[in-house]
Amino acid sequence: MRVFKFGGASVKDASSIKNVYDVLQKVGFDDVLLVVSAMGKTTNALEVVIKNYFDKSAELKASIQEVKKYHNQILLDLFEDEKHEVFTAVNRHFTDMEYFLGSNKSPNYNFVYDQIVGYGEIVSTSILSYYFNHSGIKNQWVDVRNLIKTDNTYRDAIVDWELTQKTISKNIKKSVLNITQGFLGSDENNFTTTLGREGSDYTAAIFAYCLNAESVTIWKDVPGVLNADPRYFENAVLLNQISYREAIELAFYGASVIHPKTLQPLQKKEIPLYVKSFVNPLLPGTSVSKGADLEPQTSCFIVKKNQLLISLSSIDFSFIMEENISAIFGLFHQYKIKVSLIQNTAISFSVCIEDKFNHFNELKAALSKKFKVTYNENVSLYTIRHFTDKAVQMVEKDKTVLVKQMSRETMQIITKE
């Protein structure tokens, strides 16, 4: 079995969905499992719904209507008959979502987030499944929440691999096209959980691992894995082949093409990963597989914007030693703060962090009880794999360098624009 993943950009409107249909016609769809994200910017739109719900905003109904209107237009563009059962099916999903908002008693933001935001994937895959059946590609629609079982860490759930293996093996039919959702799972009480933002790649890897898949292909609007994000760097080049190790390094440092969790299950079973273009599906793209000889021969650039650089110093000029560092990282874990760079001296400790759950103020208050806390907001973290002097000079040009750190293969530079 092959596993294909299509992201939001590949199903953003009716013409995009028709393009996915054409891609499958060109590359084949027998014995394929399709993992699909929410359409376009639906996840962002549902986040607005969630915000309005918690703010008790008068805009709540309007924000829900915007999401429904967007999907209804796609339906109208795909299906000539407005009495087609897909309209009823999609409306039923949105009715379920509105029922939850009207009956929920939990004040837990992360719990509510997962129950609502997942409807983006549920609706997108429903539309795709109905359209494919309507157009001659018979398929099985599968609710991933019945298959990927997790703990109840809402918004960043941890997979129960043993139970997930059993449910996937039991429910996925071979020799047919299966269509399911990325990003989602469910806990022991069958409440929806999510695997972290951009977690659909990880979903594809979970299925591949549990099904001993032949390969995983991530279909993107770029020709493959590039050595740099073309939004920030000119003359980005395609990496034809890279090793699991290199891909994991790039993902760890924040490369946006491959989700950080995706590669580990694939590497365990040596399942090759391909990153290909849904615009030109017959081009080879990038392959990720085993082999130390697959290291890039060019520098690779990764940039993470809107980071925080925090510097801690001891109030009484005592050394910041193992016990202090352990307590600091305990707080990072408690407030779900991702650390991207560490640098310390005898009496100071600096970290570059990403505050995706908006917990920094709480973290700062906790740290201030023991340390003097200074920080820089909106800094950029540049990582250069296989760096050269020329590559470093290009990154540093016209910027204020706050921190620079170097290892054998990697240089990280924190800058203020």
pLDDT of residue 354: 92
117-119-121-126 Cα dihedral, nearest 10 degrees: -170
- 387 labeled binding residue: no
- 40 labeled binding residue: no
Instruction: Tell me the pLDDT tens digit for each residue of 287-321.
Output: 999 876 666 779 999 999 999 999 999 888 778 88
Beta-sheet pairing, 2-6 with 32-36: parallel
Task: Work out the pLDDT band at 197, boundaries 50, 70, 90.
Answer: low
Give the span between the Cα atoms of 217 and 276, in whole angstroms: 7
Task: Work out the pLDDT band at 353, boundaries 50, 70, 90.
Answer: very high
Please report, as a single letter, which amino acid is at residue 292: A
Please report, as a single letter, which amino acid is at residue 264: Q
Distance of alpha carbon 236 from the chain centroid: 22
Beta-sheet pairing, 139-141 with 177-181: parallel
- 192 labeled binding residue: no
pLDDT of residue 240: 92
User: Which residue do the tokens 């080879």 mark?
Assistant: 284
pLDDT of residue 42: 98
- 12 labeled binding residue: no
Average pLDDT, the chain: 94
- Tell me the C-alpha to C-alpha distance, in Å, between residue 64 and each of 101, 120, 194, 290: 11, 12, 20, 46
Instruction: Tell me the pLDDT tens digit for each residue of 13-72.
Output: 999 999 999 999 999 999 999 999 999 999 999 999 999 999 999 999 999 999 999 999
Instruction: Tell me the pLDDT tens digit for each residue of 60-114.
Output: 999 999 999 999 999 999 999 999 999 999 999 999 999 999 999 999 999 999 9
Of 295, 257, 300, which is closest to residue 276 (Cα–Cα)?
257
Q: Mean pLDDT, to the nearest integer, of 366-388?
A: 95
- 199 labeled binding residue: no
331-337-339-342 Cα dihedral, nearest 10 degrees: -30
Query: What is the chain's length?
Result: 417
Instruction: Tell me the pLDDT tens digit for each residue of 390-413.
Output: 999 999 999 999 999 999 999 999
pLDDT of residue 294: 65
What's the pTM?
0.86
Of 167, 129, 97, which is closest to residue 6 (Cα–Cα)?
129
Task: Tell me the two tokens of residue 392.
Answer: 């470093």
User: Could you give all domains of the chain from N- to C-terminal order, each with its CATH number?
Assistant: 2-213 (3.40.1160.10), 300-416 (3.30.2130.10)
At residue 257, what are phi and psi to the nearest 5 degrees? -70, -35
- 330 labeled binding residue: no
pLDDT of residue 383: 97
- 68 labeled binding residue: no
